[in-house]
Structure 1
Amino acid sequence: MGTLDGRVAVITGAGRGIGREHALLFAAEGAAVVVNDLGGANDGTGSDAGPAQDVVDEIRARGGKAVANTDNVAEWAGAENLVAQAVDEFGKLDVLVNNAGILRDAFIAGLGEAQWDAVVSVHLKGHAAMLHHAAAHWKERSKAGDQPKAAVINTASASGVTVPNAGQANYGAAKAGIAALTLVAAAELERYGVRANAIAPIARTRLTLATPGMGAIFATEVEDGEADLLSPANIAPLVAYLAQAGCPFTGQVFAVQGGSIQRLQGWTAAQTAEHDDVWSIAAVAEKIGGWA
């Protein structure tokens, strides 16, 4: 008996890295998996059906259930096709793991419009498009009397929620938006039997290896017999736990890195200034000037 027996999952960006490990673990735990990956380069250019199909072949060789999908989740129609494929192939959708992402790093002064649009489109719009079509499916089921026990796991990043990374204004902004989107989704979809959480993972992937200042850290070789805590496989168990029908969490963001899992909180008041009259510039300066 697997912890995800009978569950149907869509996992985006599942042809490589963290998404691939999600797909392999989900299938090993009994889920039927739609493995989505456009198969593009780090910057999102190009396409290749090979990565998604390779993961499907690996799952099937181990006795699991999986089908490949190469739709672009940054396109509304692509997301719709992906959800429809899960329902057509396996009869329903229980779990959505939004993982697909790209990088086009640049400092703000040199950031081009295309660099901004591409990253925000894949990450933030890609999450929103998948959420929209999955939510429509769950709403329809709920109204028909088939209340789901569904789960959404979104992928934020430390770059967007804890440690802003210079050169990643587009990526960090998109990931911060994903964290906020998760909280809204949790509040809206609870009535349909859906939980929504997000993770902010740090692991060795082709994207982290290509990030300036991080590549050398993640390229460190692990000695034989030692636990590889930076492996993308070390992220998947948290996601599989959050995908279970009986998991109690919703509206949460979890940071996961190495041997650490942290439950994060959003913006909180660090200091408060009170004023008995309408604010003036002088009053503002008097009240908060000492905080700097």
Structure 2
Amino acid sequence: MTGICDGRVAVITGAGRGLGRAHALEFARQGAKVVVNDLGVGLDGRAVLAGVVPDEDGTAGQDSPAEQVVAEIRAAGGEAVADHHDIAAWDGAAALVQTALEAFGKLDVLVNNAGFLRDRMLVNLSEQDWDDVIRVHLKGHFLTLRHAGAHWRDQYKMGNLNDARVINTSSGAGLLGSVGQGNYAAAKAGIAALTIQAAAELGRYGVTVNAIAPAARTRMTEGTFSELMARPDDGFDAMAPENVSPLVAWLGSDRSRAVSGRLFEVEGGRIGVADGWQHGPTVDKGGRWAAQDLDAVVADLIGRAPVPGPVYGA
């Protein structure tokens, strides 16, 4: 199997189903050797499916989602190994990086994709549901970035030139907000900011960091956008996860070397670049404002600023 990622080693988290599975298959199709990371948990992150409980060394049975994806890749002539470490745990994220190094001798691409939902309106959201979603999405991105980044820094210091890639997974919810998803939206907004931060810090080591905000039919979205998720009759399934993966594979290839610190929205055949927070209209009095004088000032600033996009579900 050869393609634009020929010879590269890619780690993909949450790759047992949905978008992660599509990413893993596309990277293999493009010639990459793939580490398929997945805990095999339920949609809410609580129940381990099919009775597969990962051992301390990250191994699990052949019926685990990760092993099934590995089998698909190998059946198509590609190379892949499964990994079942918890990427939101310090040792688990470190072990995931080590899995790639031990299996394939190097690490070129990290795709952070793992996540789950605990949707509630803010006034009904429990502390545990907040902590768990932030842990897996935001902390999970940080820990894999931390350990992979440290590896690439060490390679750089030893005189080995990196041509490495990180692709994070944000969301439209993180860009605009989403009613009933305060924990998820906050985590995804944090991932967008972390992407910019990591791009600035890791660029010196030969690492690019970008993010995607995808829209696709997965276990996480079928209940939320059921009407939009219907499979069409015209032959093109705009909500298929496989539509997102070619961009992810391109971002993981050597062709994307000049692109870093960017967030791409992708849905069906549509790809766009999202703009983050930027300095907008300002006014400077040259001294301290009096509170009672700010009515007209704030109205003028808002009048000259772009109108924010609507919150999803509002």
TM-score normalised to the size of structure 2?
A: 0.89
CA–CA distance in 2 between the matches of 1:22 and 1:245? 17
CA–CA distance in 1 between the matches of 2:147 and 2:169? 18
Counterpart pick for 2:189 among 176, 194, 205:
176
Counterpart pick for 1:102 among 116, 131, 156:
116
Matching of residues 40-51 of structure 1 within 5 Å: 40-47=41-48, 48=52, 49=60, 50-51=64-65
CA–CA distance in 2 between the matches of 1:27 and 1:69? 16
CA–CA distance in 2 between the matches of 1:92 and 1:46? 33
Kindly provide the CA deviation profile for residues 7-31 of structure 1, in whole angstroms up to 9, marking residues without a partner as x: 0010000000000000001011110
Q: Is 1:119 matched with 2:128?
A: no
CA–CA distance in 2 between the matches of 1:91 and 1:32? 11
SS in 1 for 2:134: helix
Q: Alpha-carbon deviation of 1:67?
A: 0.3
CA–CA distance in 1 between the matches of 2:203 and 2:278? 24
Residue 202 of structure 2: aligned partner: 189
Counterpart pick for 1:261 among 265, 271, 274:
271
Q: Is 1:59 matched with 2:73?
A: yes
CA–CA distance in 2 between the matches of 1:90 and 1:166? 43
Residue 98 of structure 2: aligned partner: 84
CA–CA distance in 1 between the matches of 2:167 and 2:268? 19
CA–CA distance in 2 between the matches of 1:210 and 1:144? 49
CA–CA distance in 1 between the matches of 2:78 and 2:117? 31
Q: Is 1:228 matched with 2:237?
A: yes
Q: Alpha-carbon deviation of 1:258?
A: 1.6
Q: Alpha-carbon deviation of 1:229?
A: 1.5
Q: Is 1:203 matched with 2:204?
A: no
Q: Is 1:128 matched with 2:138?
A: no
Q: Alpha-carbon deviation of 1:215?
A: 1.8
Unaligned runs of 5+ in 1: none
SS in 1 for 2:266: strand
SS in 2 for 1:246: helix
CA–CA distance in 2 between the matches of 1:146 and 1:210? 47
Counterpart pick for 1:68 among 82, 103, 115:
82
Residue 139 of structure 1: aligned partner: 153
Q: Alpha-carbon deviation of 1:277?
A: 1.9
Counterpart pick for 1:167 among 173, 176, 180:
180
CA–CA distance in 1 between the matches of 2:151 and 2:279? 38
Q: Alpha-carbon deviation of 1:270?
A: 4.3
Residue 3 of structure 1: aligned partner: 4
Q: Alpha-carbon deviation of 1:287?
A: 1.1
CA–CA distance in 2 between the matches of 1:38 and 1:94? 22
Counterpart pick for 1:282 among 288, 292, 304:
292
Moved more, 127-136 or 281-290: 281-290
TM-score normalised to the size of structure 1?
A: 0.95
Question: 1:217 is matched by which residue type in structure 2?
Answer: L
Unaligned runs of 5+ in 2: 53-59, 304-314
CA–CA distance in 1 between the matches of 2:204 and 2:108? 15
Moved more, 280-289 or 257-266: 280-289
Q: Please, what is the CA RMSD of the aligned residues?
A: 1.3
Runs of 4 or more above 3 Å deviation: 289-292
Counterpart pick for 1:151 among 147, 165, 187:
165
SS in 1 for 2:131: helix
Q: Alpha-carbon deviation of 1:221?
A: 2.3
CA–CA distance in 1 between the matches of 2:284 and 2:197? 30
CA–CA distance in 2 between the matches of 1:258 and 1:221? 12
SS in 1 for 2:92: helix
Residue 251 of structure 2: aligned partner: 242
Q: Alpha-carbon deviation of 1:128?
A: 0.1
